[in-house]
Amino acid sequence: MSSYTAKDITVLEGLEPVRRRPGMYIGGVGASGLHHLVWEIVDNAIDEAMNGHASHIQVTLHKDGSSITVEDDGRGIPVDKHPTTKTSALEVIFTTLHAGGKFEGQNYKTAGGLHGVGASVVNALSRELIATVKRDGSTWEQRYKQGTPLGGVKKLGPARGTGTTVFFKPDSTIFPKVLFDARTIRDRLEVASYLHKGLKVVFENEAAEGEELKRETFEHTEGIADYLKKILVERNSKPVHDAPFATTKEHEESGLKLDVVLQWTESTDEHLRSYVNGIPTASGGTHENGLRSGLGKAMRNFIDTHSLSPKGVTISAEDIREGLTGVLSIFITEPQFQGQTKDRLNNPEITNIVDSMVRPAIEHWLNHNTTVANAIVARIILSARAREASRAAKDEVTRKSATSSRLTLPGKLSDCNSSGREDSEIFIVEGDSAGGSAKQGRDRARQAILPLRGKVLNAESASISKVLENKELSDLVTALGCGIGKGFELSKLRYGRIIILADADSDGHHIATLLMTFIYRHMPGLITAGRLYLAQPPLYRIDIGKESHWALDEKQKTDILARAGKSKVDITRFKGLGEMMPKVLWETTLNPRTRRLLRVTIDDQIATDRIINELMGKDPSARFRFIMDHAEAAEELDV
Ligand code: 2B7
C-alpha cells in the first residue's frame, strides 16, 4: 500500500466507555494506569520508528510533573478528511475506540497494549490533549478536553519536516494521583532504546530539581547486546566466555520477530529479561519456555555429539542455565497476557515457534565457536557437580536431624563470644597442638578456632557423600553455617572471615590446598565474596640482641639478617605451629594489627577449574604454589 488516507479507518465507538470504566483499558487508575498513558503514546511513536519512518523520539515531563509531551519525526498522522464522515484521520484516531489502521500490514498491531486504540484512550482520560502534526509542508493542530475535540483540525502555518507531537495532561477526576515518576519513565525509555536497535530516545525532565537528570539520550547501535553488557555490569557478573550468543530472526508463517542475546557468567543464578512487544514479562511465559527448551536441546546435543558428558553426574536443565544472563525480546500480533499483573505471556503456540527458531541458531553458534562452547560446557559441569554436592549435603542434614533433635556445633570448635558476624573470624587450624596454642593465644571475643585432626579428604576426586562422611569437612560445614552447593547461603555464614591456618611446610600446604579445593568446589561463594584467607605463620624467629623478628620465608630471613649488622643473632626455625607459644602465635599470626593475611581470589573460574583438575594427584607443593601465586595479599584488613 503506497498511500494512506482517512478512508482506511473504520469508525467504531465513542469514548464514554473509557471514562466510565478506565480500568478495563489501562488496568487501573493507580500509578501503573497513569504511566500506562505514557506507554501508549510512546508506543505509537515507536511503531512509526519501527516501520522505518521515524528515527528520533523525544519525551518531555513538564515542570508540573503531571503533563507530558511526546514527539516523533515520523510521517505525521494524516489530517485529511474522510469522504463520508467528513472528519479527519487525526480526529478519528484520537476520538474513537478501535481506530487502529488496517494499513501497513500487521505492523501497527504489534504495538504494546491496546493495538492502536491507545491514543483515544489517553485522550479520553486527559483533561487536556493537544495533537500537533507536521505534514505536507504545514503544521496542524487539534485540541481536546476529556476526549472531546474543542474544534476542528487547525492549520497553524508552514512546517519544515514531518512528525507528530502529542501533549497530554491526565484528568485528576479519573486519577487520584496525577504526578508522574520520572525514574519509571526514564527506565522504560532506556529499555525501549535497547529493544529497538538504533532508535534515538531523548528524555527531558523539566521537573528535575538538580541538573543531573534533566536530559538524557538513549541510543544503542547494538540493541539488546548493549543491554546485556549493562546488565552484567549492574549485577557485577563475570562472563565465562567472550562474544555472547545473539540472534535476530523473523518467523515466516506467524510474522513473529525474535531477538535474543545470551551469555554465561560465574553467578549461580539465571537472569533472563524478557519482553513481548516491548512490554516486560517479569513472570515469563510461553516465549521464555520456548527459549529454555530450545537452548536445552541445543546444549545437550552439543555435549552428546562431542562426548563431553561428565562422569558420575547427570546434567540437569538447571545446570545448563546456571549463570545464564540474557535478554529475550519478541514481537507478535496478538499477545495474551496472564496473571495478576499481566506480566506472563500465555499464547501457547509461541513456545514451539521460539524453540524452533532458537535451537538451530544456538547449535550453529556452538559448533562455530569451540572455545566459547567448551567454556560454557565447563560451567555447566561445574554446576552439575555443585548441585550433586548440595543434594548430598541435604541428605546429610536430614540424616543428622533424624538422629539428634537439633544440629549442634562441632564439639571441638572453640567459638568466639562475639555475635557480630562481620567482626568475627574462624581459624581452621591443622592439628590438635596447634589448635591448643591458637585457642589460648586468640582474641576470644571475635576469633573462633576449629582444629582439624588428620588429613582432610580430597574433595576433587571423592563423591560428595564421601566428602560429608569425612568428619573434618562436615564439622567445617556445620561450623560455617552457610550450607554447601546449591544450598549455599552467604547470609547464613557465621563469621566475617574464614582463615586457614596451616604450617609453613609441605604437609601444611597440602592441608591448605585440600581445604581450598573443598571450598572452591562446594562453597565458591565464600571466595567470590572475598571471605577466604590464608594466615601466614612465620617460619623463623630471628633474635637480634633483645629484639625478636619473624620471617615468613627465606627471603624475609635474608632481609632481616642483612639489617642485623654486627649484633648477636639467634635463629629459630619453627617445626610447626604447635611448638609456638600462644603469645607468639598471637603476635605473629592472629593479631589483626600485626599479622598479614592472603586473600584467596579466583581470577578466571574456568581456568582455575581446569588447573585444579590437572594438578590434583600431582605434587601437593606444586599445587600449593599455584594457589599461593593466585592468592592476593589482603591489605588494610585491620578494623
Ligand atoms: C494506529 C494509529 C495510532 N499514525 C499513522 C501514521 C503515522 C503515525 C501515526 C504516529 C506519538 C506521539 C508523538 C500512516 C496510527 C496513526 O497513521 S501515529 N505517527 N506517531 C505517534 O502517534 N506518536 C501514518 C501512514 C501514512 N502516514 C502516516
C-alpha to C-alpha distance for 469 and 161, rounded to whole angstroms: 77
For 532, list phi and psi in degrees, rounded to 5.
-100, 130
Angular region, 28: left φ>0, alpha ψ -120 to 50, beta rest? left
Give the closest residue (by CA) to ligand 1 atom 6: 77
SS (H, E, C) 23-70: HHHHCCCCHHHHHHHHHHHHHHHHHHHHCCCCCEEEEEECCCCCCEEE
To which H or E segment does residue 204 belong? strand 200-205
For the residues 25-50, what does the mean pLDDT come to? 93
Q: Are residues 181 and 321 in the same domain?
A: no
Which pLDDT score, from 0 to 100, does residue 112 have? 41
C-alpha cell read off for 492: 547464613
Which pLDDT score, from 0 to 100, does residue 638 have? 27
For the four alpha carbons of 229, 232, 238 and 239, in that order, the dihedral sign comes to negative
To which H or E segment does residue 280 belong? strand 279-280
Q: Are residues 252 and 352 in the same domain?
A: yes
- Rounded to 10 degrees, the C-alpha dihedral 105/107/110/114 comes to -80
Contact between 172 and 178 under an 8 Å Cβ cutoff? The reply is: yes
Beta carbons within 8 Å of 384's beta carbon, 6+ residues apart: 310, 313, 314, 315, 316, 319
Residue 253 belongs to some domain of the structure? yes
Beta carbons within 8 Å of 163's beta carbon, 6+ residues apart: 54, 71, 72, 73, 74, 75, 76, 133, 134
SS (H, E, C) 439-453: HHHCCCCCEEEEEEC
Q: Which residue has the cell 555429539?
A: 305
Residue of higher predicted confidence among 417 and 465: 417
Q: Are residues 58 and 92 in the same domain?
A: yes
Burial class (CB in 10 A: 0-12, 13-18, 19+), 450: buried
Last residue of a domain, one of 157, 184, 218: 218
Q: What is the percent of the chain where pLDDT is above 90? A: 54
Mean pLDDT is lowest, of 106-110, 305-309, 336-340, for 106-110
Contact between 78 and 135 under an 8 Å Cβ cutoff? The reply is: yes
Query: For residue 345, is pLDDT > 50?
Result: yes
Q: Are residues 428 and 301 in the same domain?
A: no
Cα–Cα separations (whole angstroms), residue 570 to 445, 562, 574, 579: 35, 14, 13, 17
For 68, list phi and psi in degrees, rounded to 5.
-135, 145
Query: For residue 204, is pLDDT > 50?
Result: yes
Q: Are residues 211 and 230 in the same domain?
A: no
Among 40, 44, 97, 139, residue to substitute to test ligand 1 (most atoms within 8 Å of Cβ): 44
- Cα(23) to centroid(ligand 1), Å: 25
Q: Are residues 495 and 437 in the same domain?
A: yes
Mean pLDDT is lowest, of 119-123, 446-450, 575-579, for 575-579
Residue 533 belongs to some domain of the structure? yes
Q: Are residues 295 and 385 in the same domain?
A: yes
Residue 208 belongs to some domain of the structure? yes
Last residue of a domain, one of 363, 392, 421: 392
C-alpha cell read off for 187: 527506565
C-alpha to C-alpha distance for 139 and 162, rounded to whole angstroms: 9
- Cα(179) to centroid(ligand 1), Å: 27
Which pLDDT band, with edges at 50, 70 and 90, does 341 fall under?
Answer: confident
C-alpha to C-alpha distance for 200 and 59, rounded to whole angstroms: 11
- Beta strands 547-551; 540-544: pairing state: antiparallel
For the residues 124-130, what does the mean pLDDT come to? 98
Per residue in 4-20, pLDDT tens? 454 544 444 689 899 99
Q: Which residue has the cell 569451540?
A: 370
Which pLDDT band, with edges at 50, 70 and 90, does 566 fall under?
Answer: confident
Q: Are residues 332 and 214 in the same domain?
A: no
Which pLDDT score, from 0 to 100, does residue 452 have? 87
Residue 140: domain span: 16-218
Residue 61 belongs to some domain of the structure? yes
Residue 3 belongs to some domain of the structure? no
Give the closest residue (by CA) to ligand 1 atom 7: 77
Q: Are residues 70 and 167 in the same domain?
A: yes
Q: Are residues 377 and 406 in the same domain?
A: no
Bridge partners, 131 (sequence order) = 142, 166
Q: Are residues 387 and 404 in the same domain?
A: no
Per residue in 533-549, pLDDT tens? 989 888 888 998 888 88
* Number of structural domains in the chain: 3
Residue 288 belongs to some domain of the structure? yes
Residue 639 belongs to some domain of the structure? no
Which pLDDT score, from 0 to 100, does residue 327 have? 98
Q: What is the 8-class DSSP label of residue 579? A: G
Contact between 286 and 250 under an 8 Å Cβ cutoff? The reply is: no
Per residue in 350-373, pLDDT tens? 999 999 999 999 999 999 999 999
Q: Are residues 526 and 488 in the same domain?
A: yes
Q: Provide, for the chain, the percentages of residues in helix, strand and coil under a 3-state DSSP scheme, each rounded to the nearest 5.
A: 40, 20, 40
Domain CATH for 351: 3.30.230.10
C-alpha to C-alpha distance for 382 and 134, rounded to whole angstroms: 59
In this structure, the residues whose C-beta lies within 6 A of any atom of ligand 1 are: 4, 41, 44-45, 48, 70-72, 74-75, 77-78, 93, 100-101, 103, 108, 116, 119, 164-166
Among 48, 199, 202, residue to substitute to test ligand 1 (most atoms within 8 Å of Cβ): 48
Bridge partners, 259 (sequence order) = 248, 329
C-alpha to C-alpha distance for 228 and 464, rounded to whole angstroms: 35
Domain CATH for 442: 3.40.50.670
Residue 150 belongs to some domain of the structure? yes
C-alpha cell read off for 347: 499464547
Last residue of a domain, one of 166, 186, 218: 218
